[in-house]
Structure 1
Amino acid sequence: MRALSLLAALSAAGATVTASPVGPAHAPRALSDSNPFVGKKLFANPKWASKLEDTYKAFTSRGDSENAAVVRKVQKIGSFVWVSSRSGLSEIDEAIQAARAEQSRTGQKQIVGLVMYNIPDRDCSAGESAGELSTKNDGLRIYKEQFVKPYAAKLAAAKDLQFAVVVEPDSLGNSVTNSAVEFCKQAIPTYREGIAFAIKSLQLDNVAVYLDAANGGWLGWGDSLPKAANEIATILSMASPAKVRGFSTNVSNYNPYLATKRDSFTLGSPSYDESHYASSLAPYLQQHGLPAHFIIDQGRVAYPGARKDWGDWCNVNPAGFGHIPTTDQSVLQNSNVDAIVWIKPGGESDGQCGLTGAPIAGAWFGGYAEMLTGNADASVKNS
């Protein structure tokens, strides 16, 4: 209760983004050198926008028209759609239908951001987002046949739309750093085979694949960077000749894109913010002949001093909506970065952790959405 009261106070204050293909019949495509986000609007998910209606009503009920207006702006900002179970495959159909309607209404080409998040033994080191599939219960076969294949088929049938797919957040990070955890050690072969299969299945002309590469606080240290690149190379060699456009970072995390003030726990790391992480990892990827393109999640960003450690990842307080999605290099200042994007939908809980009263992972956390609004980046407020 005290935590929710604090959230309300913060929100009222308002503060200053080589195997044959196994999916639909097609040949592996050549890796495009073009940024798939340029010239397109990141699809704004109406299902997420509808959840924010309660946030809007909460502000208006308190007479806070300023933050209510910010909510209206947030509802129009593009964000990724998470597909995290077999039953959740319908989320793709709904997104396609809504994106087509928006593309037709506005005449503006849409790029639909999707997250593929259902690898067996998911989230092996934390457990807050443990999924529906287990390797011990035939999960890898089910993942391939009943999740990845229909996922890819839906995108193949929507040639009028462009998609950007983030593949299996956290799996790479767990593979690189958590092999001492017995469950993770057993999960790594499944992660590798499942992700390689997913990448092969998504080799479609209208799909840009981004393999998740955790975040700078996790894999951006000097000794972890070459290990991360080696693990990526291992996975992609299993997927060869299939390719990826690049890598996603900071998914569901809180690291700033460009830090205005370094937290003490970042000292000694070359990757003290996500732009520097992209720059730090890029040469190790290039040594393996891999692309060094990144999309970076700024859906939520922690305030300097909000965390005592980089391991604080759950419902961090205070935090705000980050910089709006953009490909503008005057903002990005990093040629390795394709775009700032919003991947984690702000307001959805990270789990029953971080704050008293926080609901299970993925459930709506109304007080938190209010805090993110009140602390939204200036680019959001001025959009």
Structure 2
Amino acid sequence: MRPVASLVTALSAASVVAAAPPLPVPGPAPPKDVNPFQGKTHFVDPAWTAKLDQTYAAFKQQGDKVNAERVRKIQKSMSTFVWVSRMSELSNIDNAIKAARQARLRTGKKQIVGLVLYNLPDRDCSAGESAGELKSSEKGLERYKKEFLKPYAEKVAAAPDLDFAIVLEPDSLGNLVTNMGIEFCAQAAPVYREGIANAIASLQFPHVHLYMDAAHGGWLGWNDNLPLAAKEFATVVSLSNNITAFGAKGPGPKKTNKIRGFATNVSNYNPFNALVRENYTEWSNSWDESHYASSLAPFLEAEGLPAHFIVDQGRVHLPGARKEWGEWCNVAPAGFGPAPTTTTNNTVVDSLVWIKPGGESDGQCGFPGAPRAGAWHDEYVQMLVQNADPSVYA
């Protein structure tokens, strides 16, 4: 862990001489480094919880009252992020805003809504299970900016009564750190950088907190990859400073765009605090996601980037479920991970969150009979309920 530095100014005067110059007038206090999740309720997405009615019915049919009741508890209180992965899914933002406002009126508690922005041209360049709708060879970057980013930004800008935590383009920059030997990734690199830089520039609102995707400890957490990852992230943030936000005419004044930090383990299965250290992590200092955040933090700070993290714990593998870190698709056995919380015992971690909605398949791989990526897989979600972290039902 890395303690937050503070500056204490002590003024003492043993004696005062008439001719002494006056003390300087204090300037404004520096802005506080406020965790945007602190003191807010993590938004519970009714669109996701409604899907769990199928899981509840399955347990009831099996006569499993214990797990059926667990499903009801999950539906009531577990927060997940809302994914916007296609232009046709931009309405998901409208639905989330409406539901979050209703929850605030019902409970009197301020909401923070988790969103994922995920529609780069040539997306998923190294795997292909989650290839998107846009291709750079077909004016994909231009469409991404005008038809996806612009309405995305307009929708969140119009809801300043809510806070948003937005994860930018899972897996993209991780591929640029480690997979440039793949021709498709090498070709996609400038598109990824420009696309994400435009997203950063377009979402500079006080109530929006941006977290760039930083893959996970098994991918970028190796000692050789940590400085390369930080440099790649810094390159994109710097690039965003040269981009004019939507609606502005001309380059405008020089600006410095801000991100809050980084998201790790999105759609993956790594534990935040591993109870058992798996054999395949032997040579890594980032053997769970808490250690990965702590390992990456100093390299981010050296590049002038904020070392703040959110960590996806929507699904966590059970010990022994994987033979190697590279297994990422519908890993089993697994369970819902720790409930979203800002109590992390790691000063660089803002919150544990559920970014990947449990029950949505990773693709037709891993678990036998798994459907296409994004499709609901109720047999799998039943397993997640049965193996869930106890904090989910507390």
TM-score (norm 2): 0.88
Does the alignment pair 1:300 with 2:301? no
1:252 corresponding residue in structure 2: 267
Does the alignment pair 1:151 with 2:146? no
**Match runs of 1:1-383 below 5 Å:** 33-75=33-75, 76-240=77-241, 241-328=256-343, 332-382=344-394
For residues 183-212 of structure 1, what are the alpha-carbon distances to aligned partners after superposition, in whole Å with 9 as ceiling and x for unaligned? 000001000000000001010011000000
- Counterpart of 1:346 in 2: which secondary structure? coil
Counting aligned pairs with the same residue, the percent is 63
CA distance in 2, matches of 1:70, 1:209: 32
Q: Is this contact kept in 2: 1:266–1:272, CA < 8 A?
A: yes
- 1:381 deviation in Å? 2.0
Q: Is this contact kept in 2: 1:196–1:236, CA < 8 A?
A: yes
For residues 42-78 of structure 1, what are the alpha-carbon distances to aligned partners after superposition, in whole Å with 9 as ceiling and x for unaligned? 1010010010000000001111111111111111211
CA distance in 1, matches of 2:297, 2:214: 11
- Counterpart of 1:52 in 2: which secondary structure? helix
Letter in 2 for 1:123: D
- Counterpart of 1:82 in 2: which secondary structure? strand
CA distance in 2, matches of 1:129, 1:212: 16
Q: Which runs of 5+ in 2 are unaligned?
A: 1-29, 242-255
CA distance in 2, matches of 1:287, 1:206: 27
CA distance in 1, matches of 2:41, 2:150: 27
- Counterpart of 1:208 in 2: which secondary structure? strand
- 1:304 deviation in Å? 1.0
For residues 265-305 of structure 1, what are the alpha-carbon distances to aligned partners after superposition, in whole Å with 9 as ceiling and x for unaligned? 00010100000000000000011111000000000000111
CA distance in 1, matches of 2:287, 2:319: 12
CA distance in 1, matches of 2:283, 2:100: 44
Letter in 1 for 2:165: A
Q: Which runs of 5+ in 1 are unaligned?
A: 1-29
CA distance in 2, matches of 1:195, 1:293: 18
CA distance in 2, matches of 1:197, 1:33: 25
For residues 221-265 of structure 1, what are the alpha-carbon distances to aligned partners after superposition, in whole Å with 9 as ceiling and x for unaligned? 010001100101111110121110000000000000000101100
For CA contacts below 8 A with separation 6 or more, give which structure has more relative contact order: 1
For residues 156-207 of structure 1, what are the alpha-carbon distances to aligned partners after superposition, in whole Å with 9 as ceiling and x for unaligned? 0001111000000000111100000000000010000000000010100110
- Counterpart of 2:332 in 1: which secondary structure? coil
TM-score (norm 1): 0.90
- Counterpart of 2:90 in 1: which secondary structure? helix
CA distance in 1, matches of 2:366, 2:391: 27
Following TM superposition, the consecutive aligned residue runs of length 4 or more in structure 1 with deviations greater than 4 angstroms are none
- Counterpart of 2:210 in 1: which secondary structure? strand
Q: Is this contact kept in 2: 1:110–1:161, CA < 8 A?
A: yes
CA distance in 1, matches of 2:371, 2:335: 19
Letter in 2 for 1:340: L
Q: Is this contact kept in 2: 1:164–1:209, CA < 8 A?
A: yes
CA distance in 1, matches of 2:211, 2:31: 12
CA distance in 1, matches of 2:280, 2:70: 32
CA distance in 2, matches of 1:243, 1:283: 18
2:19 corresponding residue in structure 1: none
CA distance in 2, matches of 1:221, 1:141: 35
CA distance in 2, matches of 1:212, 1:169: 5
Q: Is this contact kept in 2: 1:31–1:244, CA < 8 A?
A: no
Quick check: which has more Rg, 1 or 2?
A: 2
- Counterpart of 2:37 in 1: which secondary structure? coil
- Counterpart of 2:293 in 1: which secondary structure? helix
Taking only aligned residues, the RMSD between alpha carbons, in angstroms, comes to 1.0
- 1:150 deviation in Å? 0.5
- 1:32 deviation in Å? 6.5
Q: Is this contact kept in 2: 1:31–1:245, CA < 8 A?
A: no
Letter in 2 for 1:338: D
